[in-house]
Amino acid sequence: MRYSSFTPYDIVLLLQGLGVSVGLFLATSLIGLLLGTVWAVIRYYRVPGLWQLMSFLAELLKNSPVLVQLFLVFFGFPAFFRVNMTPVEAATLTLSLNTAAFVYVIAVSAVESVGRDQIEAARVFGLSRWQVLRHVIGPQASAFAVGPLVALLVNQLQVTSLISVIGVVDLTKVGNILNLRTLKPFIVWTVVGLLYYAAAKLIAMLGTRLENRLRAHSAWKGL
Amino acid sequence: MLKAENVRKVFGSTVVLDGVNLSVQPGEVVSILGSSGSGKSTLIRCINGLEKLDGGRITVDEFDVSKPRELAEARKRSGTVFQLFNLYPHMTALQNITLAPIQVLQQPKAEAERKARALLAQVGLGDRGDAYPAQLSGGQRQRVGICRALAMEPRYLLLDEVTSALDPEMTADVLGILADLARGGTTMVFVTHEIEFARQISNRIVFLDKGKLVVDLPTAAFFSAKGGMAVPRIAQFLSKMRKD
Ligand SMILES: Nc1ncnc2c1ncn2[C@@H]1O[C@H](COP(=O)(O)OP(=O)(O)OP(=O)(O)O)[C@@H](O)[C@H]1O
Ligand SMILES: [Mg+2]
């Protein structure tokens, strides 16, 4: 067997790469969802100083390339703050913050989509701001946000491919390695692309199921 | 007693309430009349703490709505029914009614639901507890809105043009329920354009004109030639309303 031909072990490599991509995606999505939601709650309470800071941070993260953010964190932070960072740590930090920024934007518009009049009614009946968030705004805002959130997550999965440039051996990096070895770019990148596609489809499918669940209690929407 | 003393409210450079005095005793039905823009809704919104006062004082059973500590108590004592119902669309009629009793009064769920079902039955919606607002007609939604306010067992019921979004038949429905409540001794502050109805159920009628409370009279006196009708603004208002 020639060095440049495909071997069964390449499948293991590809699956490992996929595992790293999906693992990182899951971890950063979870952190991003939590963090973005917390930011949105801080904004809801208009915590002085803090909420303007959150908005500004979200703006920055949303309007600059992820690749640049990644370089800043991986190369810039160690140089400036004198901290050591592995590629995986840098990737996790960057992608989590980036996801959080977009989650924040979606959550804020979801909260704003809930009619003022209902919120006033709930306040007049004595519900605290937290109770209003929990019982009136939350359920309606999540039904509103789940569509955009799923679209965001599908996109963030693709964005994980950028981390290969700082040396994380994700699916794209594995593709790169195989490509250099076999010199069959068409086959390699088709397979890699299809694997991303399958993972994205899976996320979209789970998302649609969740969306239907969340909207089931709001049968009023369909009327 | 519900009491407004010298209440002043400004939006930008417009004075919307200008030295309003009003007191409502338990058991009374007081109607607030006045043309569009005279400040009726704003007065209600000041009483239930949705607007901050720019002057004066409002107390609900001695609890000052301008003091954050007392507002919660004041709000427990008044219940509001809104012009556009303001129901929670993602909750069933029953959940709309029980939310505040469970969360604010900490009633056990079963008890809150039992009371809510009794209220719904009382307004002829005994079988619609599980319907979402979008599945109800306007009149039915407003009846749910009334039940939601009554479920808090308020000492004062605040109603702001609760029938103006309804067609005449549904209006008659809802007014019928309010008349029952008035007969049952529920204290009401009733903003309305339904002059005849106000005349039937009110003990007193007050008239707001450009943010000033110009008369406050017992119902019969308000409609008498020497009382309210002697005020040109009111005579003009009433004749216009009757023509419409
Ligand atoms: N949030 C607000 N900001 C600015 N102006 C307001 C606001 N709310 C009310 N106003 C103004 O205050 C005045 C009184 O309004 P209000 O809604 O109290 O009148 P109203 O007597 O209830 O009228 P209607 O019979 O049409 O309901 C109006 O001139 C209105 O434009
Ligand atoms: Mg009004």
Distance from CA of A32 to the nearest CA of B (A): 27
Match 């409609």 to its residue by tokens: B223
Pocket lining for ligand 1, CB < 6 angstroms:
B 11, 14, 16, 34, 36-42, 161
Q: Are β-strands B29-33 and B14-24 bridged in parallel, bridged antiparallel, or unpaired?
A: unpaired
- Would the CB atoms of A126 and B104 count as touching at under 8 Å? yes
Cα(B17) to centroid(ligand 2), Å: 13
Q: Which of A62, A73, A89, A87 is nearest to A156 (CA)?
A: A62
Q: Looking at the DSSP assignment, which residues form a beta bridge with residue B190?
A: B31, B159
Give me the CATH topology for the region A9-218.
Answer: MetI-like fold (1.10.3720)
- Which atom from ligand 1 is nearest to the alpha carbon of B193? 25
- Quote the pTM value: 0.88
Q: Which residue of A has its CA nearest to B152?
A: A125
For residue A223, list chain B residues with Cβ-Cβ distance below 8 A. Answer: 132, 134-135
Residues B195-211 as b/e (b if ≥16 CB within 10 A, e otherwise) read bebbeebbbbbbbbbbb
Rounded distance, CA B153 to CA B119, Å?
A: 11
CB count in 10 Å sphere of residue A138: 15
For residue A173, give the H/E element and its range. Answer: helix A171-182
CA distance A129 to B228: 43
State how far the Cα of B68 lies from the Cα of B76, in Å rounded to an integer: 13
pLDDT per residue of chain B (244 residues) written in tens, 0 to 9: 999 999 999 999 999 999 999 999 999 999 999 999 999 999 999 999 999 999 999 999 999 999 999 999 999 999 999 999 999 999 999 999 999 999 999 999 999 999 999 999 999 999 999 999 999 999 999 999 999 999 999 999 999 999 988 888 889 988 999 999 999 889 999 999 989 999 999 999 999 999 999 999 999 999 988 888 888 988 888 888 877 6
Ligand 1 atom with least separation from CA of B39: 18
CB nearest B132 (choices: A124, A126, A220): A220
Whether A48 has its CB under 8 Å from any CB of chain B: the answer is no
Any chain A CB within 8 A of the CB of B103?
yes
Rounded to an integer, what distance in angstroms lies between the CA atom of residue A133 and that of residue A35? 17
Token pair of B54 as six digits? 């720019």
Looking at the complex, does the CB of residue B130 fall below 8 Å from at least one CB of chain A? Answer: no
Ligand closest to Cα of B33 equals: 1
Ligand nearest to the CA of B32: 1
Residue ranges in chain A whose pLDDT is less than 50: 220-223
Alpha carbon A128 to its chain's center? 31
Closest alpha carbon within chain A to B154: A125
- Interface check A136 vs B, CB under 8 A: yes
Q: Which residues contact A90 (CB under 8 A, 6 or more apart)?
A: A70, A73, A74, A77, A166
Q: Which atom of ligand 1 is nearest to the CA of B40?
A: 21
C-alpha to C-alpha distance for A185 and B30, rounded to whole angstroms: 83
Is the CB of A131 less than 8 angstroms away from the CB of B103? yes
Q: Encoding tokens for residue A73?
A: 């964190």
Task: Point out the residue among A121, A123, A139 whose CB comes nearest to the CB of B90.
Answer: A139
Q: Is A219 on the interface with B (CB under 8 A)?
A: yes
| Cα B84 to Cα B145: distance, rounded to the nearest angstrom | 9
CB of B85 closer than 8 Å to CB of B141: yes
Interface test with A, best of B45, B47, B103 (most A CBs within 10 A): B103
Domain ranges of chain A: 9-218
Q: Give the model's pLDDT for residue A223.
A: 40
In whole angstroms, give the CA distance from residue B117 to residue B111. 10
**List of domains in chain B:** 2-90+155-243 (3.40.50.300)
Looking at ligand 1, which residue's alpha carbon is closest to its atom 31?
Answer: B37
Task: Judge whether B157 and B150 are in contact, CB under 8 Å.
Answer: yes
Rounded Cα gap, residues B35 and B207, in angstroms: 9
CB contact under 8 A, B50 and A217: no
Q: What is the ipTM of this complex?
A: 0.91
Residue nearest to atom 4 of ligand 1 (CA): B11
Question: Kind of pairing, strands B78-81 and B156-160?
Answer: parallel
Q: What is the pLDDT of residue A222?
A: 42
CB A172 within 8 A of CB A161: yes
For residue A129 the two structure tokens come to 């701001």
Given B86, B88, B134, which is nearest A223 (Cβ)? B134
3-class secondary structure per residue, chain B: CEEEEEEEEEECCEEEEEEEEEEECCCCEEEEECCCCCCHHHHHHHHCCCCCCCEEEEEECCEECCCHHHHHHHHHHEEEECCCCCCCCCCCHHHHHHHHHHHCCCCCHHHHHHHHHHHHHHCCCCCCCCCCHHHCCHHHHHHHHHHHHHCCCCCEEEEECCCCCCCHHHHHHHHHHHHHHHHCCCCEEEECCCHHHHHHHCCEEEEEECCEEEEEEEHHHHHCCCCHHHCHHHHHHHHHHHHC
In angstroms, the CA A31 to CA B240 distance is 63
A185 in Cβ contact with A179 (< 8 Å): yes
Q: What is the mean pLDDT of chain B?
A: 93
